[in-house]
Amino acid sequence: MWTVESVIAHAVVTALLAGLAWGAAAAGWSWIPDWAVSYGWAAPVCYALFGLVETAVVPRVRYRVHRWEVTADVIYTRTGWLGREWQLVPVSRIQTVDHTQGWVERMFKVATLQVQTASHAGSSTIEGLDAERARAISEELAVRAGELRDDAT
Amino acid sequence: MTGREEREGAPAEERGAAPLPAEEPPPGTAPGAEGGAEGGAEGGAEGGAEGGAADGGPSEAGAGPGEGPGGEEGADGAGWRKLSPMMLVVAPATYLKNFIVPLILMAFGATQNPWALASLFAALAGLAVTGVFTWATFRYQVGDRRLEIRKGLVSRSRRTIPLERIRGVHVTSNLVHRLFGLAVVHIEAAAGGEGSEEGKLDAVAAAEAERLRRLLLHRRAVLRGDAPSAAAAGTAPAGAGAPSSAGGTGAEEGGEAAPAGGGDAAPAPAEEPRETEYFRMPARWYGFGALSVGYLLTPFVALAAVVGLASQVVGDLMERPGAVAAGERVFLHYRSLAEGSGLPVLVAVVAGVLLLLLALMPVFAVVAYTVNHWDFRLAGQDDSLVTRRGLFTRQSVALERRRIRGHELVDSPLERVRSAVRLRAIMTGLGGDSTRAVLLPAGPRARVEGVADEVLGGYTGGLVRHPRAALRRRLVRSVLPFALAAAVAAAAGLYWAAVPAALLALAGIPLGVDRYRALGHGRDAERISVRRGSLRRTQAVLRREAVIGWTWRQTLFQRPSGLAHLTATVGAGSGGYTAVDADLEESVAFAAGVTPEMIRPFLAAPEGAAAPAAEKRSVPDRRDRPEQQEPPEKGLRGPLGD
């Protein structure tokens, strides 16, 4: 799914850049320097190459790295592909559980679970969960958070 | 979701309930008849004001019959109250500030445009009318469960704030307010944005403000079941406050003296909210104002304002006929001077003024600081801490103890020279930078820590220094960008840019070292502490149970040296407190020591078998595989025994 999203995002940016380059060449405004017009095609091409490589590599790494785990008391997530981020959120401190699904995600029948606490720094996101499972988890978390809940701050 | 605001076209039953003067227009006045409505309100208001003056004080303000649409209000102080009639004088006086520039110009005859004059007077008259109108229609009422504020006549608004949602009640009064013995009450309720102000009573008598604050906070505490007794706290302070609010400026003194008296002398038996004074600012603390960068810069801000004003005046003058010619004459005159010996003199004068300003900087800083922090006091009431400060504008802020999660000791390099430090509270609902969170102004570290110890409970553990690799990273961070910029600029031949960049890079060396020296984290039995920063060094001390999660963050560059940022997330203050560049394994042990129940399940080898740090957190792959069960052993990370 990340591959698809990446492809789409990169395609859009490439198209934009290409459009810009073509527009610059076609409009022929005098304030655009010559070198920008003559090498305008290079930007989208370079970016497309970069996009291809990134599309090939990043989602795989991310898939290998990203982990999540829900135990009785704590939600644990690991994210990142160059930098790493480990996050622990105790269930008793959960304020809200969001369960969202974008259109690409629906295509792949996966969903994103977002767990929010009283602190904006303590909110955790699990992407690419199986949709059914995400729903089950979000309901379970909501119930458990309600049971365990103290002040939650 | 906390405050509900209704606008309605003046329904008849409410109109009956509101103790408006008799001249009030009939319900459902069409907008077209507004002029008539205003006239009626004005007449009524004047009658009320006279009545207030005859009664000699704000006690009159509560004269309205205790009658409300909810019908559930308590017996004490339940009536609809009006703002202080003094506000009729004060509000226009406050607004007048904004008109000072045009008024001065007018006084000097700079503007003789009849339209400008007419519009100015129209604006002034409008202000007066609006003030009267607001006063006549504004009502507030404290019920058992909620605070209600009503205003408006033609289109009415009614705001209801449930008492248990009130987060804070702050009282401020500026110079004009204090002259008339008034205060503004700000009521904050728990809503989305931080610092959102839900209700504002502008303005009531100072004693009434104090009474309201206690009443609101106490009732809220009772509603939440925090306070054991639901005794009539509201009536007691009201009784204590009323005699002292006999009139005029006396009211203000009374409002101030009443709470202070509770702490110093034997508290009056009827006065239920006891108050203990923890701190009163000693005179020599005002000198620390000279160490505050913000206050040191005030003269320049003032100078900029003066220059702006002058240019405005000059611009105004230039519009008058003949001004341009006069300006040209002055310019020519100046030119002839400059050709002689005028230029050096002019330069000398400007330089002299600047030097004088520089020399006076500390003086101005101390003066401004003193005005802001005059008679700073920190006191404790039953369930809140109260700070009061200010010479002209007196601010009073109540911080609820229940919401305090810890405190911060903040200092700058300048302040470190004199080992001065400031104390701030970390509390839910207040952002990291709010000035309301200030508990103590800059003062000697030992004393500040003593007060923190007494009021909030001090931190006794030490701080663990971060690994040497962190020093390297701090240095790279503070030096490299400028060094690179200098190198690039030098390569490009732009020496005017290269030199300052190189200087900045050099300045980065002590900065980086100091940043490294500031880094540290530690814990004791009840609290954890994290310190970072150089120009604004902050040591946060948090209660253990305030930590609502942990986040480790490791960039690509940190990985080889085994460093990571550890953030303790907290539902208060700035939201998270980060130990920058801590050793990854050590920080995991640290977190496990603070909240074992949160971390232990994830430790790969609790017995201390040395798994390499890189293998930490290799959980069995479970993403996207719903059919897998959670394995009993969580195969996480590290060597940590603890």
DSSP annotation of B464 reads B
> Which range has the worst mean pLDDT, A23-32, B391-400, B607-616?
B607-616
Q: In this complex, is the C-beta atom of B598 within 8 Å of any C-beta atom belonging to chain A?
A: yes
* pLDDT higher than 70, residue B306: yes
Residue B634 pLDDT grade (very low, low, confident, very high; cuts 50, 70, 90): very low
Residue corresponding to tokens 């940590």: B640
The tally of domains found in chain B comes to: 3
Q: Has residue B68 been placed in a domain? A: yes
**Cβ partners under 8 Å of residue B200, min gap 6:** B184, B185, B186, B187
For residues A131-144, average pLDDT? 81
B550 in reach of chain A (CB within 8 A): yes
Return the H-helix or E-strand segment holding B167.
Answer: strand B166-173
In-domain check, residue B176: no
pLDDT in tens, B248-293: 333 333 333 333 333 333 333 334 456 788 888 888 888 887 777 7
Greatest distance between any 2 Cα atoms in chain B: 94
Backbone dihedral angles phi then psi of residue B263, each to the nearest 5 degrees: -90, -40
Question: Who among B428, B591, B601 is closest to A118 (CB)?
Answer: B428
H-helix or E-strand spanning residue A90: strand A84-90
Query: A85, B551: Cβ pair inside 8 Å?
Result: yes
B13/B415: higher pLDDT: B415
Spell out the alpha helix ranges (H) of chain A. 2-27, 34-38, 42-65, 103-107, 131-148
Q: What angle do CA A92, A115, B191 make, to 5 degrees?
A: 85
Chain A residues within 8 angstroms (CB to CB) of chain B: 63, 66-71, 73-74, 76, 78, 80, 82-90, 93, 110, 117-122, 124, 128-130, 132-133, 152-153
Q: Could you say which of A63, A67, A73 has the minimum Cβ distance to residue B597?
A: A73
Asked if A88's CB is within 8 angstroms of B602's CB, the reply is: yes
pLDDT tops 70 at residue B49? no
Contacts of A90 in chain B (CB under 8 A): 548-549, 595, 598
Q: Are residues B417 and B328 in the same domain?
A: no
Q: What is the pLDDT of residue B630?
A: 34
Same domain membership, residue B398 and residue B368: no
Q: What is the pLDDT of residues B15-37, one digit of tens each?
A: 333 333 333 333 333 333 333 33
Instruction: With beta carbons under 8 A apart, name residues in chain A contacting B634.
Output: 69, 71
Q: Using the beta-carbon criterion (under 8 Å), do B619 and A132 form an inter-chain contact?
A: no
Distance from CA of A114 to the nearest CA of B (A): 15
| Mean pLDDT over each residue of chain B, to the nearest integer | 68
pLDDT at B552: 87
Q: Clarify whether residues B132 and B52 are in a common domain.
A: yes
Of B572, B598, B622, Cβ closest to residue A74:
B598
Write the DSSP assignment of B271-302 as a string of letters: --S--EEEEE--GGGGGGGGG-HHHHTHHHHH
Least trusted range by pLDDT, from B2-6, B221-225, B354-358: B2-6
Q: What is the ipTM of this complex?
A: 0.75
Nearest-Cα distance to chain B for A47, in Å, is 23
B586 part of a folded domain: no
Query: Same domain for B351 and B391?
Result: no
Strands (DSSP E) contained in B174-313 are 182-189, 197-205, 276-280
Partner residue facing B617 (CB), from A86, A129, A132: A86
- Domain residues for the domain of B432 are 377-455
**HEC per residue, B470-483:** HHHHHHHHHHHHHH
In a shared domain, residues B201 and B346: no
Percent of chain B with pLDDT over 90: 0
The reply to whether B358 falls in a domain is yes
- For A8-48, write each residue's pLDDT tens digit: 776 777 777 777 666 666 666 666 666 666 666 677 777 77
Evaluate whether residue B601 is within a structural domain.
no
Same structural domain for residues B45 and B192? Answer: yes
**Confidence check: pLDDT of B316 > 80:** no
* Res B351 pLDDT > 60: yes
CB-CB neighbours of B164 under 10 Å: 17
Whether B338 and B207 share a structural domain: no
pLDDT given at position B17: 37
B601 touches chain A (CB under 8 A): yes
B431 touches chain A (CB under 8 A): no
Whether pLDDT at B575 is above 60: yes
Residue B93 within a domain: yes
Considering the domain architecture, whether residues B382 and B366 belong to the same structural domain is answered as no
Domain assignment present for residue B641? The answer is: no
Same domain, B56 and B31: yes
Task: Specify the residue for token string 């110079």.
Answer: B175
CB contact under 8 Å between B552 and A83, yes or no, is no
Q: Say whether residue B313 is in contact with chain A using an 8 A CB cutoff.
A: no
Cβ-in-10-Å burial (0-12, 13-18, 19+) of B609 comes to exposed
SS3 B424: strand
Residues on chain B touching A69 (C-beta within 8 angstroms): 602, 619, 622, 630, 634
Q: With cut-offs at 50, 70 and 90, classify the pLDDT of residue A145.
A: confident
d(CA B300, CA B568): 39
* Per-residue model confidence (pLDDT) at position B299: 67
Provide the pLDDT for residue B121. Answer: 78
* Co-location of B192 and B296 in the same domain: no
- Do the beta carbons of residue B186 and residue B199 sit within 8 Å? yes
Give the pLDDT confidence of A68-106 residue by residue, as tens digits: 887 777 888 888 777 778 888 887 777 777 778 777 777
On the question of pLDDT at B580 being above 80, the answer is yes
Torsions phi, psi for B159 (to 5 deg): -115, 130
Q: Which pair of structure tokens corresponds to residue B3? A: 């405050």
| Mean pLDDT in residue range B73-84 | 57
Average pLDDT of the segment spanning A125-149: 78
Partner A contacted by B111 (CB < 8 A):
no
In a domain, B71, yes or no: yes
Average pLDDT of chain A to the nearest whole number: 74
Sorted by sequence, the CB contacts under 8 Å of residue B32 that are 6+ apart come out as none
B391 and B346 housed in the same domain: no
Max avg pLDDT among A45-54, B51-60, B265-274, B522-531: B522-531
Judge whether B2 is closer than 8 Å to chain A, CB to CB.
no
Q: Which long-range contacts (CB under 8 A, 24 or more apart) does B274-278 make?
A: B274/B381, B274/B382, B275/B379, B275/B380, B275/B381, B275/B386, B276/B379, B276/B380, B277/B377, B277/B378, B277/B379, B278/B378, B278/B379, B278/B380, B278/B451, B278/B454, B278/B455
Count of residues in chain B: 642
CB atoms within 10 A of CB A2: 19
Question: Is B204 in the same domain as B60?
Answer: yes
Q: How does pLDDT run across B99-110, given as a tens digit for each residue?
A: 666 666 665 655
Q: Among the three residues B319, B340, B373, which one is the final residue of a domain in this structure?
A: B373
